[in-house]
Amino acid sequence: MLTFMASDSDEEVCNERTSLMSAESPTPRSCQEGRQGLEDGENTAQWKTTFSFSFLISKSLPYITSSSCGAGTPWSSRCGFPQRSQDSEEDCEEDPDHYDCSAVPGRPPGLEEELTLKYGAKHVIMLFVPVTLCMIVVVATIKSVRFYTEKNGQLIYTPFTEDTPSVGQRLLNSVLNTLIMISVIVVMTIFLVVLYKYRCYKFIHGWLIMSSLMLLFLFTYIYLGEVLKTYNVAMDYPTLFLTVWNFGAVGMVCIHWKGPLVLQQAYLIMISALMALVFIKYLPEWSAWVILGAISVYDLVAVLCPKGPLRMLVETAQERNEPIFPALIYSSAMVWTVGMAKLDPSSQGALQLPYDPEMEEDSYDSFGEPSYPEVFEPHLPGYPGEELEEEEERGVKLGLGDFIFYSVLVGKAAATGSGDWNTTLACFVAILIGLCLTLLLLAVFKKALPALPISITFGLIFYFSTDNLVRPFMDTLASHQLYI
Amino acid sequence: MSHGPTPRPAPSSDGAGRFSGPYRAPRLASAVAMTAAVFFGCTFIAFGPALALYVFTIAIEPLRVIFLIAGAFFWLVSLLLSSLLWFIASHITENKDGPTQKYVLIFGVLVSVIIQEMFRFAYYRLLKKASEGLKSINPDESAPSMRLLAYVSGLGFGIMSGVFSFVNTLSDSLGPGIVGIHGDSPQFFLNSAFMTLVIILLHVFWGIIFFDACEKKKWYILLLVLLTHLLVSTQTFLSPHYGINLVSAYVIMVFMGIWAFFVAGGSCRSLKFCLLCQDKDFLLYHQRSR
C-alpha cells in the first residue's frame, strides 16, 4: 500500500499510499546476487533490495477508491453514472463494461446508492481476477523456481538477522526490523506528500519512470534468467536481449503513456508479482509476518486519520481536480477523453490521461446519447464550443501495493515450511473475502479506504491457524483416507 | 515440487525395487507408477464436474461467484473450528497410547461433520438476511432466489471440501514414485479421486435439500442431511475396503441427487422434456391441450 518511489540515490523510497497515484518507477536495483559468490551476493543484495524496496513502496498504494464514488469527489463529478436501459440488458452480456453513460452529476443519492450496489458485484469480480492472477503467478514461481526461496542476504531495511540462537532474540530482531521498515515507509510517504503538495511533478514523474524502468528491465531479466535456469532451457544473449527489450519497452509505453487497458493491467500485474517475489526472497520469515501486520495498521492510520499522509495526498489531488497517475494504480475501468477536452492547466504535464478514445472500441456502443458527439458523429450540432468532459467509467481502483502485499502473504504461505497447499489456498480465500468486505465498505462509505487491513488480518489468522491446526488434522485424515 | 517430510499416505518412492516377500509379489506386479497421467486423470475425475458446473452456471454472474467464495470461506471456518477441537483433544490425550489417537480422530471426524452442518445453517441465515437486504434496496431487480443460493452455497462447500481433501495427495502424485510397493492398494489415487468427486456432488445436493428444508421449516430434514453426511464420513473408516465404501457413497449420492432434483422443483415431466430437448412453449402447449 504504499507510495511512490523513484530516486537515484540509494535511499529513495517514497512511500505514498494512495491508490490514486500513478505508477512509480521503482528505484533501480541490481539483482545479480547469487552469481558472484556470497560476499558479492551480499553487496548486490543490499543494493538490489534498496532499489526494490523503493520500488515497492512506490508501487504499493494500498488504497481503494471508487472512481465514481459519488458527487462528493471532484474528479468524479464529471463522471457519468452508468445507466443500463432495460432493452440493452441482453446485449450487454459480452461486454460487462458496457454502460450507457449520461453525465448527470446531480443524480439523487438514493438512485446512486442503488446503482452502486447493483454494479458492486461486477467490480468485486473485476478486482478478484487480477488479484488472483497475481497470486497465481507468485505461487507458481515460488513452487517451481528455487531462487526465490533461497536465502541470500537481506534488505538493508531489515538489518537484523534472524539466525539467532534464542526465540526471544529472534522475535526482538524481527520487531526491530519492522520498526525500521515502517519508519522508512512513513518518511518516504511524507516526502512524497510534500513533493506533491509543492507540485514537483517533474521530479515525481521522473522518479516513476526510473523505477518502472528498473522493474521492467532488470527484474524481468533476472526473473527470466532464473526461470530458464530452472527448466534448463538455453537462450542466447541476442534473443534474450530482444525479448527483454520488447517486454520492457512495451511495458513502459503501456504504463506511462497510452496503451490498451488489458495490456496495461497485465503489465501492472506482472510488475506487482515481480516486486512481491523480491520481497518474499529478501524478507526474513518472522520479519515478513510482523511487517505485514504492521503495514496494515499503518495503512489504516494513513488513510483514515485526518492528518494521515495518504489522506492528505488524496485530498490534495481532489482539490486540484487532477486525474490520477494510471501507472501506480490498477484500474478496472476505462478512462477516456472524448474529443478535445480542455484540461485544467494545473493538470498538464506529467498528469496526462493515457488513453485515447480510439483505443477503447468496446465502449463505443454504449453511447447512445448525443452528448458525446465527437467520437461518433463529428457534425452533430448543438455542441459547438462546448468543453468536452472526460468520461470515466465506473470502476474501482486498487493500489499496486495491495497486490504486492497480498501476493507476499500468499507467496510466503506457499514458500515456508511444509509446502502445504492447504495453507496457500486458505490464505487465498481469506484474502479474497477480505477484499470483498473492503469493497462492500467502499460501497457503503463511498470514500477512499485502505485495502490492506481486513484482508491481511484474515490472511494472517488463516495462515497461522491453518498451518498449525488444520494441517495436522488434514494430514492425519488423508493418511487414513478419511473424508469429512 | 519438494515438500518437507510430512505424514503423507501410502505411495512410496522406493523405485529401486525393494524386495518384499513372495506372498507380496502378486501385489507388486500390479503396482502403478505415478506420472503426469495419473495427476491429470485424477484431477479431472475429482474436479471436472465441479469445474464444469462452475464454468456454466456460476462464472457468468459475478454475484454467484461472490456467494461461492463466501460459502467456501464458511466451510473453511468450520474446518478451522473442528481442527481446533481435534487438536485440543489430541493434546489432552497425548500421553495415552494405544488406539486412543484413533478414537480421537473418529471424534474429530464426527465433530467436524456436525460443525460443517452448523455452518451451513449459519450461511443460510446470512444469505437470508442478505437476500432481504438486496430486495429492500432493489425491489424491481430480481435478487438471486434461495434455491439458486442453495445450489451455489452447496457448490462452494463442496469445492472447498474436495480441494482441501485432495490437493496435497494430487501434488504428491506428480512426483516420482510407485504406488503399492509396500502392499497398499495400487488404486489409492483413483479411489481418492472418486471419493472427492462424490463428496463434492453430495455437498451440492445437501445444500439444496438443507436450504429448502430451512425455508419450509421442516427441521427433521436437517437431521436427515446430518445423518447422511455422518454416514458417508464414517463409511470412510472402512478405508482399505474400497469397494463397499465407494459404492455406497455413490448410491447415497444418487438418492440425494434425486431428492434434490424434486426439492428444487423438478418433476418427471420436466426431466422428460429436457431430455427430449423440447422447449417451454411445447410444454405450455401440451398443458393447454388437456
For residue A65, which of A407, A265, A406, A330 has the smallest C-alpha distance? A330
Position with higher pLDDT, A58 vs A373: A58
Cα distance between residue B120 and residue B78, in whole Å = 9
Q: In what order do the strands lie in the sheet with A449-450?
A: A329-331, A396-399, A63-66, A449-450
Q: Is the pLDDT of residue A467 over 80?
A: yes
Check CB contact under 8 Å for A478 and B9: yes
Beta strands in chain B (DSSP E): 32-33, 178-179
**C-beta separation of A48 from A26 below 8 A:** no
Of the pLDDT bands very low, low, confident and very high (cuts 50, 70, 90), residue A113 is low
Supply B76's cell numbers.
473453511
Domain boundaries, chain B: 31-172+187-288
Mean pLDDT of A249-266: 92
Position with higher pLDDT, A88 vs A456: A456
Nearest chain B alpha carbon to A467 = B80
Is A425 touching B (CB cutoff 8 A)? yes
**Rg of the Cα atoms in chain A:** 23
Report chain B's terminal Cα–Cα distance, integer Å: 65
Mean pLDDT of A24-32: 35
pLDDT at B31: 62
Greatest Cα-to-Cα distance within chain B, rounded to the nearest angstrom: 76
Chain A residue numbers touching B116 (CB-CB < 8 A): 484
Look over chain A and give the mean of its residue pLDDT values, rounded to a whole number. Answer: 72
Mean pLDDT of A364-373: 36
Distance (Å) from the C-alpha of residue A406 to the closest C-alpha of chain B? 17
**Hey, CA dihedral for A69, A73, A75, A78, is it positive or negative?**
positive
DSSP state letters, A77-92:
TTPPEE---GGGTGGG
**C-beta separation of B183 from B96 below 8 A:** no
For residue A375, which of A387, A386, A360 has the smallest C-alpha distance? A360
Nearest to B62 among A125, A420, A465 (CB): A125
> In 10 A of CB A7, how many CB atoms?
24
8-state DSSP, B132: H
Q: What amino acid positions of A are annotated as catalytic residues? A: 299, 402
Cα B15 to chain centroid, rounded: 33
Instruction: Find the Cα–Cα–Cα–Cα dihedral B183, B187, B193, B196, rounded to 10°.
Output: -60
H runs (alpha helix) in A446-470: 452-465
Cα distance between residue A191 and residue A288, in whole Å = 24
What residue type is assigned to position B269 of the chain? Answer: R
Cα distance between residue B183 and residue B185, in whole Å = 6
Supply A432's cell numbers.
479474497
Is A230 touching B (CB cutoff 8 A)? no
Please list, in sequence order, all residues whose beta carbon lies within 8 angstroms of the beta carbon of residue A272, skipping any fewer than 6 positions away: A59, A134, A330, A400, A403, A404, A407
Q: What is the pLDDT of residues A390-421, one digit of tens each?
A: 444 567 888 899 999 999 999 999 998 666 89
pLDDT at B239: 67
**C-beta separation of A342 from A387 below 8 A:** yes
Check CB contact under 8 Å for B105 and A432: no
Position with higher pLDDT, B164 vs A74: B164
**C-beta separation of A424 from A139 below 8 A:** yes
Nearest to A481 among B163, B164, B239 (CB): B239
Distance (Å) from the C-alpha of residue B262 to the closest C-alpha of chain A? 26
Distance (Å) from the C-alpha of residue A429 to the closest C-alpha of chain B? 6
Is A97 touching B (CB cutoff 8 A)? no
Cα distance between residue B9 and residue B113, in whole Å = 22
Cα distance between residue A432 and residue A455, in whole Å = 7
pLDDT at A118: 53
8-state DSSP, B16: T
Cα distance between residue B154 and residue B95, in whole Å = 39
> In 10 A of CB A341, how many CB atoms?
16
Helices (H) and strands (E) in chain B, counts: 10, 2
Cα distance between residue A255 and residue A327, in whole Å = 5
Q: Is the pLDDT of residue A347 over 70?
A: no
pLDDT at A112: 56
Helical axes A471-479 vs B146-174, angle rounded to 10°: 70
Nearest to B70 among A433, A477, A483 (CB): A433
Pairing of the two strands A63-66 and A449-450: antiparallel
Chain A residue numbers touching B192 (CB-CB < 8 A): 481
What residue type is assigned to position B215 of the chain? Answer: E
**Hey, CA dihedral for A426, A430, A432, A436, is it positive or negative?**
positive
> In 10 A of CB A276, how many CB atoms?
30
Please identify which residue in the block is written with the cell numbers 471419493. B195
Chain B residue numbers touching A422 (CB-CB < 8 A): 164, 167-168
DSSP state letters, A467-482:
IIIIHHHHHHHHHTT-
Residues shown for chain A: 484
Mean pLDDT of A434-440: 92
The pLDDT profile of chain B, 290 residues, written as one tens digit per residue, is 444 444 444 444 444 434 333 443 444 445 667 788 899 999 999 999 999 999 999 999 888 999 999 999 999 999 999 999 999 999 998 877 778 888 899 999 999 999 999 999 999 999 999 888 877 766 666 678 899 999 999 999 999 999 999 999 898 888 788 887 777 777 888 989 999 999 999 999 999 999 999 999 999 999 999 999 999 999 988 766 667 888 999 999 999 999 999 998 888 888 888 888 776 665 555 554 43
**Hey, CA dihedral for B40, B43, B46, B51, is it positive or negative?**
negative
Q: Phi and psi (nearest 5°) for A112?
A: -60, -40
For residue B187, which of B38, B77, B85 has the smallest C-alpha distance? B38
Q: What is the pLDDT of residues A209-238, one digit of tens each?
A: 998 999 899 999 999 999 999 999 999 999
Which residues does residue A101 pair with via DSSP β-bridges, in sequence order? A82
> In 10 A of CB B267, how many CB atoms?
10
What residue type is assigned to position A15 of the chain? Answer: N
Check CB contact under 8 Å for B232 and A483: yes
Cα distance between residue B210 and residue B263, in whole Å = 10
Nearest to B138 among A114, A426, A429 (CB): A114
Chain A residue numbers touching B73 (CB-CB < 8 A): 429-430, 433
**C-beta separation of A23 from A59 below 8 A:** yes
**C-beta separation of A331 from A67 below 8 A:** yes
8-state DSSP, A26: P
**C-beta separation of A127 from A455 below 8 A:** no
Nearest chain B alpha carbon to A140 = B1
Check CB contact under 8 Å for A425 and B167: yes
Of the pLDDT bands very low, low, confident and very high (cuts 50, 70, 90), residue A22 is very low
